[in-house]
Amino acid sequence: MAEMGKGVTAGKLAINVQKRLTRAQEKVMQKLGKADETRDVAFEEMVSNFNKQMIEGSKLQKDMKAYLLAVKTMHDASRRLQDCLAEMYEPDWFGKEEMDALTEDTDTLWLDYHQNITDKSLNTLDSYLTQFPDIKTRIAKRDRKMVDFDSARHHFSSLQKGKKKDEAKIAKAEEELGKAQKIFEELNVELQDELPVLFDNRVGVYVNTFQGLAGHQEKFHKEMGKLNQNLNDIMTKLEEQREIKKGGSEAATTEESAKSEEANHSEAASPPPKSAVTNGSDGDLPPGFIYKVKAVHEYAATDGDELELKVGDSVLVLAFENPDEQDDGWLLGVQETHWLQNKDISIKGVFPENFTQKV
């Protein structure tokens, strides 16, 4: 005889086989309409809600994992791009140390974002879904015990209706019916209490999951916006550095050419040319004039005291009447063309310094 598995006896195995056979026979009789079936419409609706809830939760978990994978992919792409820029950035360029720090801060921000979503959103879903396998198993068990109860009920009824009544068999059948009914009702009551609560809890889980996700997204994009602004500022300063070096080289070349021309002429040197900004004597400068700048980016004025800029505009920078009114990174000025034509500074306004370049 083949050896039985650990903890399983031939008697238990025979009982289990008999139970399955009895259940199968009962289900056949019920389908054929020869035996009535215990039905609970309210419970069936609970099970339907449970199955719908489990499917929706599993889909949400799957999609959240896909989102996290996309975040990791974007993080990897961002890190490669930042590393590429850091490697190309030459030591004597403006903001080399700031660029290296920016690369590290960007990488850390992506890591924190991925970890926060995993901890607060995905783990919440994972914990929520761990309840379903056990309840699903108990629902299946409850269905089996309901068939056992129906079978015991029909068996007891048939013995009572028999022509030859065997009191001993009837008593035993009644005892089996009582046991089957007790087991079924205990499972049934437990599930009737738990399933509505679980179904209602889905709302709280969805709220916590998406509130957490929205909060982390908002924080991530806000911090990333600051880092992007820092990167833009570094690039602007780098361009300014290039223009200054370019202008210095051109000035040196012009100076050498002027010295050579002066050496070739014996006549007295002519008076130096007048400044293009002043367009004549100091009387042509607006009051409070400091220096001239040129717009390198367009700027649309958003307030009445701001000066609109177009690329290439020349602006005469003026001193603030009250230095305390000047905000960091902002200058006061008037369009050069307006001043030369009208000699009027009433159309002056403030504008962002990093949208211009000093000339």
272 neighbors 128 (Cβ within 8 angstroms) = no
pLDDT tier at 39 (50, 70, 90 boundaries)?
A: confident
**pLDDT tens track for 289-340:** 999 999 999 999 888 889 999 999 999 999 998 888 888 899 999 999 999 9
Residue 321 is given by DSSP the state S
Task: Tell me the percentage of the chain whose pLDDT exceeds 90.
Answer: 59
Confidence at residue 296, expressed as pLDDT on a 0 to 100 scale: 93
Q: Kindly state the tokens that stand for 321.
A: 């009447």
**pLDDT tens track for 275-289:** 334 433 455 889 999
Cβ neighbours around 307 below 10 Å, total: 20
- Of residues 347 and 133, more confidence is placed in 133
* CA angle 109–113–118, rounded 5-degree value: 150
**pLDDT tens track for 4-33:** 455 556 666 656 666 666 666 655 555 655
Q: Kindly state the tokens that stand for 214.
A: 């929205």
The per-residue b/e assignment along 111-142, b for 16 or more CB within 10 angstroms, e otherwise, is eebbebbeebbbebbeebbeebeebeeebeeb
Q: Quote the distance between the C-alpha of residue 165 and its chain's center.
A: 74
- Cα torsion 268, 273, 274, 279: sign: positive
The CA R_g of the chain, rounded to the nearest whole Å, is 42
Q: Kindly state the tokens that stand for 211.
A: 């509130």
- Of residues 137 and 250, more confidence is placed in 137
- In one-letter notation, the amino acid at residue 244 is I
Q: Is 349 helix (H, G, I), strand (E, B) or coil?
A: strand
Written as one string, the DSSP assignment of 57-106 is HHHHHHHHHHHHHHHHHHHHHHHHHHHHHHHHS-TTSTTHHHHHHHHHHH
Distance CA 97, CA 107 (A): 16
Written as one string, the DSSP assignment of 139-165 is HHHHHHHHHHHHHHHHHHHHHHH-SS-
Distance CA 76, CA 86 (A): 15
Confidence at residue 207, expressed as pLDDT on a 0 to 100 scale: 94
**pLDDT tens track for 83-109:** 999 899 999 999 999 999 999 999 999
